[in-house]
């Protein structure tokens, strides 16, 4: 035990290290209170502590739609670990998360658009998803998600009748989604992230009018209120099927298919915006080590310091599936580094974390 004065002489807030328990303790004025530390180890199958976790759910890999949920510890590196399963097997759905709960909704499966059901899991424990409630529209595939500690937003989609619609749910309670407002442009195959105040949505593929259009549009909403999205700025290119993540300050938009105007190719670059100010995106760095091979239909998760992306699909010159995971330091521009591998070569994966920029 560390050597400190008798209890009556210890100032409130003093800290000591207890050599019997090997844990730090805080003097609260009347007793020593033990710090509760959360240090998850990615390599241990018994790990059920939350830490800064990123979840990767569903997706499509050669021959089959998937219902697997994997998790990573964002602060470390290594291969993903099994978390549980979704109730359906969707690709191109959307995910949101609070500090305690992740929600996954929408998507496309072997029978077409998946039901309107929203699945939920608890970050701190592994296990299969349970039913949360329903979206307003069961046919909205290829949506984008964003949220803060209170609300989760599910935006856009491939249904022409509701491709501008933004639904919201209160994450702490179960139930059917409500209408928040409309995007500035009807679109699908885009990505979202945000701060505690704003939800930001970037890129996308257009319809119904004009059809088959690639967009560079970035728009935003105020998460706490209802109302239509407003113009934020533009991406550096018109692109669809981007992956996004954020801390409270920056949103990183990685990869994407830049469409027929650029040879129907994918890009490896990531770009970023400052969420609070708005404005056009700027170049951040490259996601993949082979910079002339781009990635699209990828997804991202984040902690306050790191953004982590799975590869999704790569296209140069032909489509191929990859399971590599990369990470960037959000505060500094630069090329991504290798993180590990996702369990399976999947694209269109839904993602959520308990440490992203909206919290």
pLDDT in tens, 44-61: 333 445 679 999 999 999
Write down the pLDDT at residue 194: 95
Q: Are 254 and 295 in contact (CB under 8 A)?
A: yes
Q: Average pLDDT of the chain?
A: 86
Length of the chain: 359
Write down the pLDDT at residue 3: 47
In this predicted structure, which of 169-173, 181-185, 255-259 has the lowest mean pLDDT? 255-259
Over residues 254-275, the mean pLDDT reads: 83
In this predicted structure, which of 39-53, 173-187, 248-262, 307-321 has the lowest mean pLDDT? 39-53
Confidence of residue 63 (pLDDT cuts 50, 70, 90): confident
Chain-centroid distance of CA 254 in Å reads 12
Over residues 321-346, the mean pLDDT reads: 93
Is the per-residue pLDDT at 2 higher than 60? no
Write down the pLDDT at residue 292: 62
Over residues 219-228, the mean pLDDT reads: 97
Is the per-residue pLDDT at 159 higher than 90? no
Write down the pLDDT at residue 27: 76
Structure tokens at 117: 């059901």
Alpha-carbon span 81 to 100, nearest angstrom: 19
Single pTM value for the model = 0.84
Q: Are 235 and 271 in contact (CB under 8 A)?
A: yes
Q: Are 29 and 12 in contact (CB under 8 A)?
A: yes
Angle at 330 between CA 81 and CA 276, to 5 degrees: 120
Over residues 191-220, the mean pLDDT reads: 87
């Amino acid at each position: 035990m560390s050597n400190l004065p008798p209890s009556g002489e210890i100032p409130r807030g003093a800290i000591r290290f207890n050599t019997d328990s090997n844990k730090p303790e805080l003097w609260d004025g009347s007793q020593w209170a033990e710090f509760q530390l959360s240090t998850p180890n990615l390599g241990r199958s018994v790990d059920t502590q939350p830490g800064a976790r990123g979840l990767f759910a569903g997706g499509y890999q050669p021959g089959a739609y998937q219902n697997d949920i994997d998790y990573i510890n964002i602060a470390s590196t290594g291969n993903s670990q099994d978390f549980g399963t979704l109730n359906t097997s969707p690709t191109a759905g959307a995910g949101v998360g609070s500090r305690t709960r992740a929600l996954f909704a929408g998507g496309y499966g072997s029978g077409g658009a998946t039901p309107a059901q929203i699945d939920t899991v608890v970050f701190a424990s592994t296990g299969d998803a349970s039913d949360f409630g329903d979206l307003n529209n069961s046919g909205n595939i290829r949506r984008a998600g964003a949220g803060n500690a209170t609300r989760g937003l599910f935006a856009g989609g491939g249904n022409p009748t509701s491709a501008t619609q933004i639904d919201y749910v209160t994450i702490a309670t179960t139930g059917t989604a409500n209408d928040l407002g409309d995007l500035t442009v009807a679109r699908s195959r885009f990505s979202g992230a945000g701060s505690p105040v704003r939800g930001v949505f970037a890129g996308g593929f257009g319809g119904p009018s004009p059809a088959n259009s690639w967009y560079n549009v970035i728009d935003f909403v105020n998460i706490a209120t209802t109302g239509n999205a407003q113009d934020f700025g533009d991406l550096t290119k018109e692109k669809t099927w981007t992956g996004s993540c954020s801390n409270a300050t920056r949103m990183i938009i990685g990869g994407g298919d830049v469409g027929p105007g650029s040879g129907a190719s994918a890009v490896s670059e990531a770009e970023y915006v400052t969420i609070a100010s708005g404005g056009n995106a700027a170049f951040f760095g490259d996601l993949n080590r082979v910079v002339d091979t781009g990635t699209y239909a990828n997804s991202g998760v984040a902690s306050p310091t790191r953004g982590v992306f799975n590869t999704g699909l790569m296209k140069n010159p032909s489509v191929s599936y990859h399971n590599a995971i990369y990470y960037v330091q959000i505060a500094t521009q630069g090329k991504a580094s290798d993180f590990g591998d996702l369990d399976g070569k999947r694209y269109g994966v839904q993602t959520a974390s308990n440490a992203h920029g909206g919290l």
